[in-house]
Chain A
Amino acid sequence: DAGITQSPRHKVTETGTPVTLRCHQTENHRYMYWYRQDPGHGLRLIHYSYGVKDTDKGEVSDGYSVSRSKTEDFLLTLESATSSQTSVYFCAISGRQGAYSPLHFGNGTRLTVT
């Protein structure tokens, strides 16, 4: 799995509570991404990072924030979880900029917001 660890693998939380998902990589790749996967929607980009402390929004960023203080760690935070954020979240990394660089995904975090 290209040295990507996501934690936790499963999480159940209540509406309104903060949640942080962690992605840790051992590949020393510069680019990191958070996607969410929902039936009928494929994978949609939430946020991405192109270096330490350098992040930007993806197509479904509302309600999410990210931080990257070290090359190897990329955190996704739901400040106040809502039921619409129930999903499977995937972290991905790539070694270089540009669409020709394939994404390597972690095994996902299944988040349920009750």
Chain B
Amino acid sequence: GENVEQHPSTLSVQEGDSAVIKCTYSDSASNYFPWYKQELGKGPQLIIDIRSNVGEKKDQRIAVTLNKTAKHFSLHITETQPEDSAVYFCAASMETSYDKVIFGPGTSLSVIP
């Protein structure tokens, strides 16, 4: 079955710097890759997603890139702010299989003011 790896497990950056989180997946049939942000004491919230027919997607300070050949995708956060501090999860799934959203183990991001 699908396996999603995520690196690093923890990341500290200075406010204003960029942060990059990388994920790899194993199943070439996966075609949808969402990213979730989880703040302390809350459930994960979708922040951006990308489909396999797209190589890059941006939304203000966040962007996601996808390399289907290498089976990896990355989250980029620019001009980081303290409110970006959270745990981030990548996930991979197949369009026709709603029960097979596989999550990575998470990255704890700390933005130091």
Contacts and interface: CB of A to CB of B under 8 A. Distances in A.
Contacts of A4: 43
B95 A103 contact: no
Interface in A45-103: 45, 48, 50, 56, 58-59, 90, 92, 94, 97-103
Contacts, number: 68
B70 to A, nearest CB: 20
Interface of B is mostly: loop
B31 A108 contact: no
Interface string B98-113: 1111011110000000
B108 to A, nearest CB: 10
B60 interface: no
B89 A43 contact: yes
A92 B43 CA distance: 9
Given A99-B31, A102-B34, A94 B98 contact: yes
A98 B98 contact: yes
Given A99-B32, A99-B96, A107 B103 contact: no
Interface of B: 1, 4, 6, 31-32, 34, 36, 41-46, 49, 51, 89, 93-101, 103-106
Interface of A: 1, 4, 31, 40-45, 48, 50, 56, 58-59, 90, 92, 94, 97-108
